[in-house]
C-alpha cells in the first residue's frame, strides 16, 4: 500500500520538492531551530486550532483529523463552520493565494466530503489584516491537478540530477543551509 501524503506537505512540495526531504529528515528536532520568523508566525496561526482552543461553539469543528482514501491524503482541517457549511483555512498573512494553498484546501475539502460532511463554501482567512477570501469549490480540472501533484510527490527522486530550482526561492528557503542546491 502506498504511503499517505500529508496535506500540509503539498504546499512545501509546490515551493520545492526537495524541501519535503528536509522537512521529514528534521521533523524530530525542534522546528524553531530552522523555521524562519515568518513561517513560525504561520505555524502559530494554527496553534489554537491544532490544540482545539479556537472556539467552544458546537457548530465549529476545529483541527479534526481528516483522510481521503481515493487521493491517499491525510491531515487536519483548520475550521469547519457546520452552520454555514464553510471550510476555512487560516494563514498568518495572505498576500497572494499560491497554488499550494489551493491544493491544501481542495484536499481538505475532498477529505470532508468523503467522510460525509456537507461543505458548500471554501475560504481563506488572513489573520494579520482580518481579511476573508472566498474561493470556488474545486472543479474536475482542479481535482485532476491535485492528483497530478500527488503523483509527482510519490515519484519524486531526490537524486534526480536534472532537478533545478529558482535561486530566488532558495534564498527564502528555511532549509537552504542544509541543501546542496543552495549556492551562496
Helix (H/G/I), strand (E/B), else coil: 62: strand
Please name which of 71, 85, 80 lies closest in space to residue 9, comparing C-alpha atoms: 71
Segment contacting ligand SF4 by CB under 6 A, of 54-62, 101-109, 127-135, 166-174:
166-174
CB of 28 to ligand SF4, least distance (A): 18
Residues 179/170, Cβ–Cβ less than 8 Å: yes
Coil vs helix vs strand at 9: helix
Q: Output the smallest distance, CB 63 to ligand SF4, in A.
A: 28
Give dist(CA 19, CA 128) in Å, integer.
26
**Shortest gap between Cβ of 21 and ligand SF4 (angstroms)?**
8
The answer to whether residue 23 forms part of the interface with ligand SF4 (CB under 6 A) is: no
Taking CB under 6 A as the rule, does residue 101 contact ligand SF4?
no
Q: Check: CB of residue 91 under 8 Å from CB of residue 121.
A: no
By the criterion CB under 6 A, which residues form the site for ligand SF4? 16, 18-19, 22, 165, 169-170, 173, 175-176, 179, 181-182
Amino acid at each position: 500500500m502506498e504511503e499517505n501524503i500529508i496535506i500540509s506537505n503539498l504546499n512545501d512540495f509546490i515551493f520545492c520538492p526537495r524541501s519535503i526531504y528536509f522537512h521529514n529528515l528534521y521533523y524530530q528536532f525542534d522546528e524553531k531551530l530552522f523555521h524562519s520568523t515568518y513561517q513560525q508566525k504561520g505555524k502559530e496561526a494554527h496553534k489554537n486550532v491544532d490544540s482545539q482552543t479556537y472556539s467552544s461553539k458546537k457548530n465549529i469543528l476545529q483541527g479534526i483529523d481528516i483522510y481521503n482514501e481515493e487521493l491517499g491524503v491525510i491531515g487536519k482541517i483548520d475550521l469547519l463552520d457546520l452552520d454555514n457549511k464553510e471550510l476555512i483555512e487560516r494563514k498568518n498573512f495572505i498576500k497572494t493565494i499560491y497554488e499550494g494553498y489551493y491544493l491544501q484546501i481542495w484536499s481538505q475539502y475532498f477529505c470532508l466530503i468523503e467522510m460525509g460532511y456537507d461543505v458548500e463554501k471554501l475560504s481563506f482567512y488572513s489573520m494579520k489584516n482580518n481579511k476573508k477570501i472566498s474561493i470556488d469549490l474545486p472543479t474536475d480540472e482542479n481535482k485532476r491537478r491535485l492528483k497530478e501533484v500527488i503523483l509527482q510527490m510519490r515519484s519524486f527522486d531526490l537524486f534526480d540530477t536534472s532537478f533545478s530550482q529558482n535561486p530566488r526561492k532558495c534564498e527564502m528557503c528555511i532549509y537552504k543551509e542544509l541543501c546542496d542546491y543552495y549556492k551562496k
